[in-house]
Each structure stands twice: as structure tokens, then as C-alpha cells.
């Protein structure tokens, strides 16, 4: 038989908006801003805009450790290096 404990509930904490929702809202605004013009290659455009800051922020988080960065991003270090070259990203102290 389970017993009920009288615990005070913690004050409700407002959770951050899920990343998926933020991305969805941004894409909706982008498409709305396009009006009647249909964008071409939206997937490619989105990746080119999102991938560099994602890599930069994880590099900052790992203080430039490429092995850790690759692991966090779920890719090999060679793939990370390819992307660093493609986007001309280098870890610098000013990324901090």
C-alpha cells in the first residue's frame, strides 16, 4: 500500500520554450515575410543559416575542443572539420 507524503510543492517554474517551437515560429515568420514569393531550396537555406551558429556555440561551450564538440553534435571529428572549413569557422577567444 502506497503512503502519501505531505511534501510542499516547489513553486512552479516556467520552463523555456522548446527549441522545436522556436524554430517552427521562426520558419512561419520567414514564410509569412516572403509573401507571395515562394522560396527555393528552403532546406539548404535553413541549414546554411542554422548550422554555423550551432557549431560556434558548441565550440564556445567546449572551449574549442573539437572532439567534444563533434561528440555533442553527433558527428565525427572529420565531419566537424569539414564543416569548420566550409563555414570558415575557427575557435577564437572572442567567441566566448
Is 44 buried (19+), middle (13-18) or exposed (0-12) by CB count in 10 A?
A: exposed
pLDDT at residue number 58: 98
pLDDT at residue number 65: 97
pLDDT at residue number 5: 53
Which three cell numbers, joined as nine digits, stand for 91? 575557435
Spell out the per-residue pLDDT of the chain, length 96, in tens: 555 555 555 667 888 889 999 999 999 999 999 998 988 999 999 999 999 999 999 999 999 999 999 999 999 999 999 999 999 999 875 555
Amino acid at each position: 500500500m502506497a503512503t502519501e507524503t505531505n511534501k510542499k510543492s516547489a513553486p512552479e517554474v516556467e520552463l523555456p520554450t522548446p527549441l522545436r517551437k522556436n524554430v517552427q515560429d521562426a520558419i512561419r515568420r520567414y514564410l509569412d515575410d516572403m509573401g507571395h514569393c515562394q522560396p527555393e531550396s528552403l532546406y539548404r537555406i535553413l541549414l546554411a543559416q542554422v548550422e554555423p551558429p550551432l557549431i560556434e556555440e558548441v565550440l564556445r561551450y567546449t572551449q574549442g575542443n573539437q572532439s567534444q564538440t563533434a561528440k555533442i553534435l553527433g558527428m565525427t571529428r572529420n565531419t566537424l572539420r569539414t564543416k569548420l572549413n566550409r563555414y570558415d569557422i575557427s575557435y577564437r577567444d572572442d567567441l566566448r
